[in-house]
């Protein structure tokens, strides 16, 4: 069961974080090249005194936070065909403002580069491909000179809320709401 949890965590972390995806890829390649290990001697089974707490993906915790504080999922799941542009725009402003506040509080995003978009920059030999993505006419070897199209974003911190719910609720993004009379 633990391997399934690890596989899901690795999948979502790789999906949302290029650096982690590259590290997972390197680990998988290294494992494929390593000689087969001899089976280890079986240890006596360990006595488990307390069942492990249910695990919840940090991606679901983030989505749940965006829903709870900004109604993000409600906005995305609502069909917009029956609303005017003005109505959608009014709601979008609130969702945008509240989502931005959540992202700022949890991640403290900052630009990877301080230069202005449109300025000329040079990428030296050995530049970090996790921090820079080359687009356009990519030929030859570094150093590369080009125009900054997007300054990138990096997290100054990562404080996704801890979750302590039940296993049955591990994938619930927004609980059912019931108004009592």
Q: pTM of the prediction?
A: 0.64
Q: Say if CB 130 and CB 14 are below 8 A apart.
A: no
For 115-140, the pLDDT digits (tens) are 999 999 999 999 999 999 999 999 99
In this structure, is residue 79 part of a structural domain?
no
Per-residue pLDDT, 84: 95
pLDDT, position 40:
66
Domain range for 149 is 109-155
Predicted pLDDT of residue 5: 60
The answer to whether residues 175 and 169 touch, using CB atoms and an 8 Å cutoff, is yes
Number of structural domains (the chain) is 1
**Contact yes or no for 15/29 (Cβ under 8 A):** no
The kind and range of the H/E element at 161 are none
Nearest to 65 by CA among 35, 105, 92, 29: 105
Q: What is the pLDDT of residue 55?
A: 83
Give residue 51's pLDDT.
Answer: 64
Residue at 137 is within a domain: yes
Give the per-residue pLDDT at 49.
Answer: 72
Asked if residue 130 is part of any domain, the answer here is yes
Low-confidence ranges of the chain (pLDDT < 70): 1-2, 4-5, 8, 11-12, 15, 31-41, 51-54
How many C-beta atoms surround the C-beta of residue 31 within 10 A? 8
- Is 116 within the bounds of a domain? yes
**How confident is the model at residue 85, as a pLDDT?**
95
- Report the pLDDT value the prediction gives residue 94, as an integer from 0 to 100: 96
The answer to the question of residue 82 being in a domain is no
Mean pLDDT value across the chain: 87
How much is the pLDDT for 1? 61
How many Å apart are CA 163 and CA 177, to the nearest integer? 19
Please report how many Cα atoms fall inside a 13 Å half-sphere around the Cα of residue 55, on the Cβ side. Answer: 11
Residue 65 maps to a domain: no
Residue-level pLDDT at 26:
80
């Amino acid at each position: 069961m633990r391997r399934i949890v690890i596989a899901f965590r690795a999948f979502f972390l790789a999906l949302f974080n290029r650096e982690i995806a590259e590290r997972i890829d390197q680990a998988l390649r290294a494992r494929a090249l390593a000689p087969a290990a001899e089976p280890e001697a079986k240890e006596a089974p360990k006595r488990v005194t307390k069942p492990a707490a249910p695990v919840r993906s940090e991606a679901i915790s983030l989505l749940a936070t965006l829903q709870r504080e900004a109604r993000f999922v409600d906005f995305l799941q609502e069909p917009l065909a029956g609303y005017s542009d003005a109505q959608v725009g009014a709601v979008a402003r609130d969702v945008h403002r509240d989502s931005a506040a959540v992202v700022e509080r949890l991640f403290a995003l900052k630009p990877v580069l301080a230069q202005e978009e449109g300025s000329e920059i040079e990428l030296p030999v050995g530049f970090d491909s996790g921090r820079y993505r080359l687009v356009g006419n990519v030929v030859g070897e570094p150093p590369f000179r080009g125009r900054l199209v997007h300054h990138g974003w990096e997290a100054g911190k990562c404080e996704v809320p801890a979750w302590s719910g039940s296993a049955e609720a591990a994938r619930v993004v927004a609980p059912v709401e019931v108004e009592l009379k």
